Amino acid sequence: MTEGVALLTVFVLAVFVGFEVVSKVSSTLHTPLMSGANAIHGVILVGAVIVAGTADEAGVLVVALIAVVLATLNLVGGFVVTDRMLEMFGGTRPPTAEVAPAKVGGE
């Protein structure tokens, strides 16, 4: 029982620390940090796949497959958000205007 309480305590403290760290990040650092987080989520996805592949019990397999789905969604969503953020910093291209031919002879 005390091991479960210790793990729950670490989890709650990690949530508070994570919230404080993320809330202090400026917008210019958001995209590089998101790219780093995507790499971490890739490792998490690999770990979830390994756990799912070595699961002996049905309960462990179900939780591992849920972890695979959630890690995949998080990884893909992170890349989508990073791509949209990079588009915001890309600047706009001036529109290409077609030049109308000049009228000759006052018509």
The string of pLDDT tens digits covering residues 14-46 is: 888 888 887 777 766 766 776 677 777 788 889
Q: What angle do CA 24, 29, 31 make, to 5 degrees?
A: 120
The torsion of the CA quartet 93, 94, 96, 98, rounded to 10 degrees, works out to: 170
Separation of alpha carbons 81 and 93, rounded Å: 21
The pTM is what? Answer: 0.55
Nearest CA to 87 out of 46, 48, 31 is that of: 31
Domain contains 11: no
Domain contains 16: no
Average pLDDT over the chain reads: 79
SS (H, E, C) the chain: CHHHHHHHHHHHHHHHHHHHHHHCCCHHHHHHHHHHHHHHHHHHHHHHHHHHHCCCCHHHHHHHHHHHHHHHHHHHHHHHHHHHHHHHHCCCCCCCCCCCCCCCCCC
Domain contains 40: yes
Per-residue model confidence (pLDDT) at position 106 = 57
Domain contains 73: yes
Per-residue model confidence (pLDDT) at position 76 = 85
Domain contains 6: no
Domain contains 76: yes
Per-residue model confidence (pLDDT) at position 74 = 83
Per-residue model confidence (pLDDT) at position 1 = 63
Domain contains 59: yes
Residues of the domain holding 83: 29-90
Per-residue model confidence (pLDDT) at position 91 = 65
Domain contains 78: yes
Total count of domains within the chain: 1
Share of the chain above pLDDT 70, in %: 77
